Structure 1
Amino acid sequence: MTFEPIWGSIIAWYLFLAGLGGGAFITAGFLRFRHPEAVHLRKIGHVMAPVVVAIGLVLLIFDAKAGLHSPLRFALLLTNFGSVMTWGVVFLAAFMVVSLAVLVFDVLKRRVPLALEIVGMACGVCVGMYTGALLGVCQTFPLWNNALLPILFLVSALSTGAAAVLCCGIVLHPEEFNRVGTLKRAHYCLPLIELVMVASLLFVTASVSDAGFNSVMSLLVGDYAWLFWIGLFLVGLAGPSLVETWLLFFAKRSFEDSRKAQWISFGADVGVLIGGFLLRYLVIVASLPLTMAVPML
């Protein structure tokens, strides 16, 4: 008989920070192609990426108590390339190396090579998807073992990464924030995509088994309903979408570029960050395992 690991809030923070770091680097790369004049915002993404991923890795080591006392055990993860965890280590290591190399170029005030930026963006995509695939290893949990989860976590990583960069931009470089309209419109679409994908994930999960159905019900009407509806749905997804819809499509241009509008956007982006964490936390804590009846011999 095998037993599946039960993860908690520390792993939720690790998944959130890893995804955010990958999304921040991808945001910086997007700015290079679409808004090359937003130099400071791009550097914010380059600084944020390795820092938040490193914090997430420290939390992972702390949670894996055996690894905390015997760090060399983590090297064993590189011996099985049929394992999702092994590929996760590869993606994270490659991302950290590339993102730190890019950061060195920024510190030295040298132009980041295009090839290095593209490789970093590809690693960021892999890290974002890996955070969802990691949960899928536990096949007895229907809410985790779902092909939609890696894609949902990738979209959330892009959304939280962009939100974090934009929040810092509002505080540190508000003049650049007003000039990255393409990024703001792209970021606006991501919570809407997340809403559709969350609904799809819950619908598929509820239809596969009793454990899946009960997991979904615990989110919609059970113990975690208030966190789901108020925290994830309202604060993290619907609220920011409504605010940005108003700012981008209905507010006067003079108001959209004002400092007051920037702080309203800041609040919406903070909501996106809260929703990004709650998405991972709720997926972890609400998931129930399949039960197996063993006939008596």
Structure 2
Amino acid sequence: MSFEPVWGAPIIWYLFLAGLGAGAFATSAFLSWRHPDATSMRRTGYLIAPIAVGIGLVLLMLDAEAGLHDPLRFALLLSNPLSVMTWGVVFLSLFMLAALAALVLTLAGRSVPKWVNVAGLALAVCVAMYTGALLGVCRPYSLWNSALLPTLFLVSAFSSGAASVLLASVGFHAEEFNRVGVLKKFHFCLPVAELLLLASLLFVTGYVSDAGWQTVTSLVAGEYALMFWLGLVGFGLVLPTALETWLLFVSPKEFEESRKAHLVSALSDVGVVVGGFLLRYLVVMAAAPVAFV
């Protein structure tokens, strides 16, 4: 039996872009702490963050059919402090302010104050987790109504955001890219954590209800199995982990800074970004409802 998804492509792209933008800002904040000399890479993250989240917000408004019809409907979301969507609007609005402030200061050649980075990082965590909590509003869906999902989306967001910054930097700021070893090692851990969280989410979902079992089955052995195993798990998680393991812990230092190594890193980062999108696509499209009316 097949089910019509509650949300479609615009929401999937919104979930992906909002998470990627939050992760890009978090990457720049991390660079300001551990690699303060990587100014071009920090600027790249500050640039990606508001652009990605801004595009995602436009898609969200259009999907809600308020972008061209009645934009003031979004003001009503602030009237219910107990709503997940209300807090989402607050987090997204404050994050955009922090991201734009950091971008303007960076483009003006001024340093971003520590408190802006700290506030932006905290808001980035909230935005990334909110994209998972938003799906939990639809309680009949076992895959969405899990405390593991916001955590999974948080790790995936930071991984995708860091990959986007590294991918841009390997082509345009190779010298700085070679010096950010701490960031690379931290980023290496994220797909591993994401894989463990994904396995835990599917394990828990499969035992919650029959619909949960049906969702897991469609992912691992049904209509979405090819995309799940080859796209998300293979290309998006396992391949980047294998490539980065080789680059960081096996290959000689001389090779790690060569052009061939940069191409390998770029392939790894492309895999992470594609995997981040496929994760949200599969989570939205494969979820089956618990009950029907």
- TM-score range normalised by the length of the shorter chain: over 0.9
Task: Give the deviation of 1:205 after TM superposition.
Answer: 0.2
Alpha carbons of structure 1 residues 60 and 292: separation in structure 2 relative to 1, 3 Å: closer
Per the alignment, residue 97 of structure 2 pairs with: 97
Task: Give the deviation of 1:66 after TM superposition.
Answer: 3.9
Is 2:55 the partner of 1:78? no
| Cα RMSD (Å) | 1.2
Per the alignment, residue 176 of structure 1 pairs with: 176
Counterpart residue type for residue 37 of structure 2: E
Per the alignment, residue 246 of structure 1 pairs with: 246
User: Separation in 1 of the partners of 2:279 and 2:111?
Assistant: 36
Per the alignment, residue 45 of structure 1 pairs with: 45
Q: Select between 159-168 and 107-116 the one with higher mean Cα deviation.
A: 107-116
Counterpart residue type for residue 39 of structure 1: T
Task: Give the deviation of 1:63 after TM superposition.
Answer: 1.1
Counterpart residue type for residue 71 of structure 1: P
Contact conserved, 1:22 with 1:127, CA < 8 A, in 2? yes
Per the alignment, residue 212 of structure 1 pairs with: 212
User: Separation in 2 of the partners of 1:22 and 1:163?
Assistant: 12
Question: TM-score, normalised on structure 1?
Answer: 0.96
- Secondary structure of the equivalent of 1:69? coil
Is 2:265 the partner of 1:260? no
User: Separation in 2 of the partners of 1:162 and 1:207?
Assistant: 33
Per the alignment, residue 21 of structure 2 pairs with: 21
- Secondary structure of the equivalent of 1:267? helix
| Cα deviations by residue, 1:141-199 (Å, 9 ceiling, x for unpaired) | 00000000000000001100000000010011000000000000000000000010000
User: Separation in 1 of the partners of 2:247 and 2:74?
Assistant: 47
Task: Give the deviation of 1:68 after TM superposition.
Answer: 3.1
Counterpart residue type for residue 161 of structure 1: G
Task: Give the deviation of 1:62 after TM superposition.
Answer: 1.5
Per the alignment, residue 287 of structure 2 pairs with: 287
Contact conserved, 1:67 with 1:73, CA < 8 A, in 2? no
User: Separation in 1 of the partners of 2:33 and 2:272?
Assistant: 24
Alignment of 1:98-177 (within 5 A): 98-177=98-177
User: Separation in 1 of the partners of 2:49 and 2:225?
Assistant: 32
| Cα deviations by residue, 1:227-260 (Å, 9 ceiling, x for unpaired) | 0001000000001000101111111111011011
User: Separation in 2 of the partners of 1:206 and 1:255?
Assistant: 44
User: Separation in 1 of the partners of 2:65 and 2:111?
Assistant: 41
Task: Give the deviation of 1:107 after TM superposition.
Answer: 1.6
User: Separation in 2 of the partners of 1:188 and 1:31?
Assistant: 15
Per the alignment, residue 8 of structure 2 pairs with: 8
User: Separation in 2 of the partners of 1:8 and 1:73?
Assistant: 21
User: Separation in 1 of the partners of 2:274 and 2:36?
Assistant: 29
- Return 5+ residue gaps in structure 2 as ranges: none
User: Separation in 1 of the partners of 2:10 and 2:220?
Assistant: 23
Counterpart residue type for residue 78 of structure 1: L
- Secondary structure of the equivalent of 2:20? helix
Contact conserved, 1:224 with 1:282, CA < 8 A, in 2? yes
Q: Select between 101-110 and 12-21 the one with higher mean Cα deviation.
A: 101-110
Contact conserved, 2:58 with 2:67, CA < 8 A, in 1? no
Is 2:198 the partner of 1:193? no
Contact conserved, 1:67 with 1:74, CA < 8 A, in 2? no
- Secondary structure of the equivalent of 1:65? coil
User: Separation in 2 of the partners of 1:14 and 1:6?
Assistant: 14
User: Separation in 2 of the partners of 1:259 and 1:285?
Assistant: 39
Counterpart residue type for residue 189 of structure 1: C
User: Separation in 1 of the partners of 2:258 and 2:15?
Assistant: 35
Counterpart residue type for residue 121 of structure 1: L
User: Separation in 1 of the partners of 2:72 and 2:287?
Assistant: 31
User: Separation in 1 of the partners of 2:117 and 2:183?
Assistant: 17
Structure 1 outlier segments of 4+, above 6 Å: none
User: Separation in 2 of the partners of 1:167 and 1:155?
Assistant: 18
